[in-house]
Structure formats: structure tokens, C-alpha cells
Amino acid sequence: MDLWLWLKAVILGLVEGATEFIPVSSTGHLILAQAWLDFQGPTANAFLIFIQLGAILAVVWLYRRKFLDLLLNFPKPGKARALVLNLIIGTLPAVVIGLPTDDWIEAHFFTPLSVALALVAGGIAILVIERRKHRVVASTIDDIPWRLALGVGLIQVLSILWPGLSRSGATIMGGLVLGLSRVAATEFSFFLAVPAMMGATALKLYGVRDVLGASDIPVFAIGFVVSFVSALVVIKGLLAFVSKRSFVPFAWYRIALGALVAAFALWPALGGGH
């Protein structure tokens, strides 16, 4: 029994669940936490992929009635079919652009300094967007036309190409710019995460299947459960938050964290270690 390894699983599960659906970048936070905890290697990377499923299933559980409605009513014309088609349309850019570039992005941009720059850039973008006057053309996720779904999907690609930018941040803020209400943009971001992240997680786990063994099950299970529970809490809290407030606090958090991480990353190069 390695209690320190289990504690790492709890911490990383909390980080994933707490940051996956708010505009601060779960990938960026996990990269930083992984470096801080010295949790490296193929098995560690597989663990980080696996705990994303916990966060995804939190969305499915909270919106289980909506997902059941989509499943039962998709065959006939109506709002359920329209939303499913919007999710497919919104996911296609990630599949077409994200899959071919995934390995290259992971090899070149999964670094603390790159994440720091993405955090700051995303924070500035949120501040700029929040200063604009928003014209709402879709009040709920059932009102979103396919063109706006495609637009959100294209914006989502930015978070794939630059880890740390935040998938949820890109889709929520992109939705606001395109005319979605705050709640519609947030909920569409939640729903769009399910096919995009399930597909990516399945592919990545299949790629690392040879490095996993029975001894990994307890650690993976701990991270999964913690990620699921923490994501449940955050999703409920975020919906209550966005119905009354702007995303500006998240922007300043991103900028502050990004500046701090950049300072630590650049300190040795500036002679701080001498």
C-alpha cells in the first residue's frame, strides 16, 4: 500500500474535477500538478487520461434526463434531434483538426511555460470579451442553430492546439461572442465535452493499454471517484454562478497563476538559481 501514491491520486482527481468545466484549463492545471507531484511516466499519463472519464460522467449523471430524452427522441424530428446534430457538428472540428495534431501538440506544448502563456492569454481574452455588449440569439441549448454550434466547435479547436487555453473557457466565451446566453453557452460547453472527451479518452487509453496492470486499479479508481464527485459539485456551482455573475474573476485568476508559473519557469534561465 503506497499512501503517498494514493494521496497523489486524490489531489489529481480533485484538480481534474474542479477545473474541467470552469474556464481555467484542466489540462494546464494537471500538467502543473503532475510536475509538482513528480507524477511522471506512461502509467501516470494513462491515469490522467482515465480520470477525465469521472468528470465526463458527472455531466451525464447531472443531465441524465436530458441525455435519456436525446437517446429516445433522436429518431424523430424535434429538439432532441437538433441538439444531437449540433453536438456532432460541434465535435467534428476537434476530430478533423485535433486528431492529426495531438501527438505533435503533446510533444511540444505540454510544458509549464507554454501553459503559463496560455493561461495569461486566455485570461486577457475573457476580460476583453466580458467588456463587450452581448446580443443573445439563443437563450437555451435547444435554441442554438447549427451555424453557432459549428462556430463553437471551431473555437474549441484553439484549446486543443494550445494546452492551457481551456476547452471550457474557449467554448463558453466563444458561445457568448456568437450570441449564446451565459447559461446556454455553459451548458452547451458541458454537453460538447461528452463526445469530444470520451472519444479522445478512449483513443488515448487504447494507445497505452500495454502499460496498465491489475496493481493500477486501486489508484485509478480513487482518482476516478474523486474526479466524479468534485466535478458534480463544481458543475452545480458554476451554473448558479454564471446566472448572476461574469467570468472576470476566472480571468484574473488565470493571469495571476500564469504569471506565477512563468516566473518559476523562467527563473533558472534568468540566473535565479545562481
| pLDDT tens, residue by residue, 154-166 | 999 988 888 888 8
pLDDT band per the 50, 70, 90 thresholds, residue 126: very high
Tell me if 93 is assigned to some domain.
Answer: yes
pLDDT value of residue 217: 85
Residues 6+ apart with CB under 8 A from 136: 179, 180, 181
pLDDT value of residue 269: 64
pLDDT band per the 50, 70, 90 thresholds, residue 216: confident
Buried/exposed code over 119-134 (b: 16+ C-beta within 10 A; e: otherwise): bbbbbebbbebeeeee
pLDDT value of residue 39: 87
Tell me if 226 is assigned to some domain.
Answer: yes
Tell me if 271 is assigned to some domain.
Answer: no
> Is the separation of the CB atoms in 262 and 116 below 8 Å?
yes
The three-class DSSP label of residue 159 is helix
pLDDT value of residue 138: 94
Percent of the chain predicted with pLDDT > 90: 51
The DSSP string of 38-104 is T--SHHHHHHHHHHHHHHHHHHHHHTHHHHHHHHHHTTSSSHHHHHHHHHHHHHHHIIIIIHHHHHH
pLDDT band per the 50, 70, 90 thresholds, residue 225: very high
Tell me if 273 is assigned to some domain.
Answer: no
| pLDDT tens, residue by residue, 80-112 | 999 999 999 999 998 898 778 877 787 777 788
Residues 6+ apart with CB under 8 A from 194: 56, 59, 60, 87
Within 10 A of 150 (CB to CB), how many other CB atoms are there? 16
pLDDT band per the 50, 70, 90 thresholds, residue 124: very high
| pLDDT tens, residue by residue, 164-204 | 888 899 999 999 999 999 999 999 999 998 987 888 778 77
Tell me if 274 is assigned to some domain.
Answer: no
271 has pLDDT over 70? no
Q: How many domains does the chain have?
A: 1
Q: Which three cell numbers stand for residue 120?
A: 495569461
208, burial (CB in 10 Å: exposed 0-12, middle 13-18, buried 19+): middle
Specify the range with the lowest mean pLDDT, choosing from 74-78, 128-132, 233-237: 74-78
| pLDDT tens, residue by residue, 22-70 | 999 888 888 888 888 988 887 888 888 889 889 999 999 999 999 999 9
| CA gap 260, 207 in Å, rounded | 34
Residue that wins the pLDDT comparison between 194 and 216: 194
273 has pLDDT over 70? no
Question: What one-character DSSP code corresponds to residue 211?
Answer: G
pLDDT band per the 50, 70, 90 thresholds, residue 250: very high
In this prediction the pTM is 0.86
- State which residues form the domain around 179: 3-266
> Is the separation of the CB atoms in 243 and 182 below 8 Å?
yes
Q: How many CA atoms lie within 13 A of 76 on its CB side?
A: 3
